[in-house]
Amino acid sequence: MKRDLPDGLTRRARSFLGAHAVRLDARPIREERQWYLDRGVPAAVVDRMTAFHERWGGLVLPPAPMYDGGPLPLSAHSPEERAPDGWWFEVGSQRTAVPYSFMIGPAGEFGLDGERWAPLHAGVEGWVESVALHHHASLEAKRITRVVGEDVERIDLDGYEPVREVRGLADAWWRGTDTLVAVYRGEADCLDFPRGRTAWMYSGLDWWGLRGGVDDDEVVV
């Protein structure tokens, strides 16, 4: 996928999409606009879905390390209102049988909707950046360690800085002197399942491994 790369991403994420993602044909939401309006979906919500679909619709990412790979492909459908908070819509089908949906929240958050709503990133851009960073770190790390359950909370992140481009909420990345740490709390939050907390630690990284060519000045959140 070399053309039609979404804007608002770091060079690392754009390079990842260009090399490893594909874009399928996706029916434009505007063709279904009146159908949604006739069923009570506000025009502003349909506009949000249309904007999302035109930017991301049909995009297929390689599997993420959690949530059984993430949505496949990205798309906008099935809006629903939850008073008093606003409107959500789904953003792709599950790759496997997981007990939650992938959704965009009222403020644009990307997250999991299971027993309760668990926003993972402040926008879908953060999800894409996270998948891209996992791919990069997996190739560069000398050692990868997986930590689960209560042990996740015992990871010492003193001296680490947040990786801002992933726009972390329930999920977040942290950068140390030679290590990247990815913390995933989405399943623990949306399923009320504390043992679902998972962290991946990518160690033995040099400057390139820690950043993949991305400088702080490039990151806009």
Q: How is residue 45 written in tokens? A: 């919500």
DSSP state, 87?
E
Residue found under tokens 């679902």: 196
pLDDT tens digits, 29-54 = 878 899 999 999 999 999 999 999 99
pLDDT tens digits, 171-202 = 999 999 999 999 999 999 999 999 999 999 99
Distances 185 to 27, 34, 126, 152, 154 between C-alpha atoms, Å? 33, 38, 15, 9, 14
Q: Average of pLDDT values for 12-16?
A: 95
The burial of 58, by beta-carbon neighbours within 10 Å (0-12 exposed, 13-18 middle, 19 or more buried), is given as: middle
Residue 186's pLDDT is: 98
Which of 25, 24, 201, 191 is closest to 111 using CA atoms?
191
The burial of 69, by beta-carbon neighbours within 10 Å (0-12 exposed, 13-18 middle, 19 or more buried), is given as: middle
Residue found under tokens 């919500």: 45
Q: Tell me the pTM.
A: 0.94
Mean pLDDT across the chain: 93
- Is the alpha carbon torsion for 148, 154, 159, 164 positive or negative? positive
Which of 135, 133, 131, 145 is closest to 204 using CA atoms?
145
| β-pair partners for 202 | 144, 180
Which of 67, 65, 113 is closest to 88 using CA atoms?
113
pLDDT tens digits, 128-141 = 999 999 999 999 99
In whole angstroms, give the CA distance from residue 158 to residue 147: 17
CB neighbours (10 Å) of residue 146?
A: 10
